[in-house]
Chain A
């Protein structure tokens, strides 16, 4: 956790939470694999659901295993910059593709 002064009771409570997150991650994996076999008629829907499940799983890992749900402000500030540039890079990528198809 953010600070290093947690009582043993709190740590034990957190450990139960980790196990719940673990269950959630396994469930997410099952859903993702099941999608491969039961796919939607429109392919983009399969992609959207798969990426949504992956994002939820990643959020679980980041929030609880990496303790981002309760961190210091400094880390949030740095990560905000990362999110900005990451989103920018992905945005440019998709923009380039949109441009490309419009020219076709």
Chain B
């Protein structure tokens, strides 16, 4: 049996079936992401003053990925336009760029995730003091609360990477429990240069005085002095919890969209010969979904990376 309006628009709505379908689906998607954005607002505004982490994201990588997604969005719409003009080859070309961008985005995202999973914060039972760690004096802290506390000479926690034993790197997802299980009694913690850098103005003054600014030195920490250890995973903080929830859901959409676009581009392309109008519609509908995924990222990028 022939299903009506798979290619031709209906008289009453002026739309072919799939187009109405994708818009209804996107409307429900708005509510799905909307609910999570609303969770973000609640967590963010509910956080105690100065407790929302800043500067834990890699901004150049995030910016690059934003550009990748924007490029893919324009290639999708160009590919569809060429199909409308009957230029199948150009459609193939532009849509292959879309697919490369999709793979690039997911690849970069997974690199970012893995970086986070062995990047650590260590909290001390008793805050470190600057007398104990003079190497950290003058190093500006990124998060507002930390900056305030280091001025008072108190260091409640440090961010960076660590080694143990004979320069063996820590694995993924370690906690204080992992250290105890492995019977590790001391770690060598390398605070991030990015977080604990000396402000440029002070660096310039130090150079004038002939004193080269020191990098923050690795710090030996006894495991018994550690209150908590967490990688940058959802359990680290509400920030990372909502970060991983939102970005993983978004990445799933990228993967799902790419699979559909790839299928239409590859094995599904046989339809172009038998029913070009319906084929063009398929490309349009998958494109609408792709633009929506780009649109979500347009909001995710500033709220998670920059603000």
Contacts and interface: CB of A to CB of B under 8 A. Distances in A.
B74 A19 contact: yes
Most buried by B among A4, A53, A79, A97: A4
Contacts of A2: 14
B1 interface: no
A86 B34 contact: yes
Interface string B161-175: 000000000000000
Interface string B280-302: 11000001100110110011011
A8 B83 CA distance: 11
A73 B78 CA distance: 25
A58 B299 contact: yes
Interface in B1-55: 9, 13-15, 19-20, 23-24, 27, 30-31, 34-35, 37-38, 41-42, 45-46
A72 B13 contact: yes
B295 A29 contact: no
Interface string A41-68: 0000011001101100110011011100
Contacts of B305: 36
Interface residues of B, number: 50
B30 A86 contact: yes
Given A6-B84, A82-B31, A35 B306 contact: yes
B8 to A, nearest CB: 9
A94 B38 CA distance: 9
B239 to A, nearest CB: 16
B77 interface: yes
B298 A57 contact: yes
B63 interface: yes
A18 B9 contact: no
Contacts of B295: 58, 61-62
B291 A29 contact: no
B298 A61 contact: yes
B41 A94 contact: yes
B299 A75 contact: no
Most buried by A among B13, B42, B292, B306: B306
Contacts of A64: 77
A67 B44 CA distance: 34
A97 B39 CA distance: 12
B70 A26 contact: yes
Contacts of B76: 65
Interface residues of A, number: 50
B252 to A, nearest CB: 20
A89 to B, nearest CB: 5
Contacts of B306: 32-33, 35-36, 50
A100 to B, nearest CB: 8
Contacts of B288: 66
B186 interface: no
Most buried by B among A85, A86, A97: A86
Contacts of B77: 18, 64-65
A54 to B, nearest CB: 5
B70 A22 contact: yes
Interface of A: 2-4, 6, 8, 11-12, 14-15, 18-19, 21-22, 25-26, 29, 32-33, 35-36, 46-47, 50-51, 53-54, 57-58, 61-62, 64-66, 72-75, 78-79, 81-82, 85-86, 89-90, 93-94, 96-97, 100
Given A54-B299, A86-B34, 6 more contacts: A11-B84, A18-B81, A25-B74, A35-B306, A82-B31, A90-B34
12 contacts: A4-B277, A19-B74, A21-B74, A22-B73, A32-B301, A33-B63, A58-B295, A58-B298, A72-B14, A73-B14, A79-B27, A97-B41
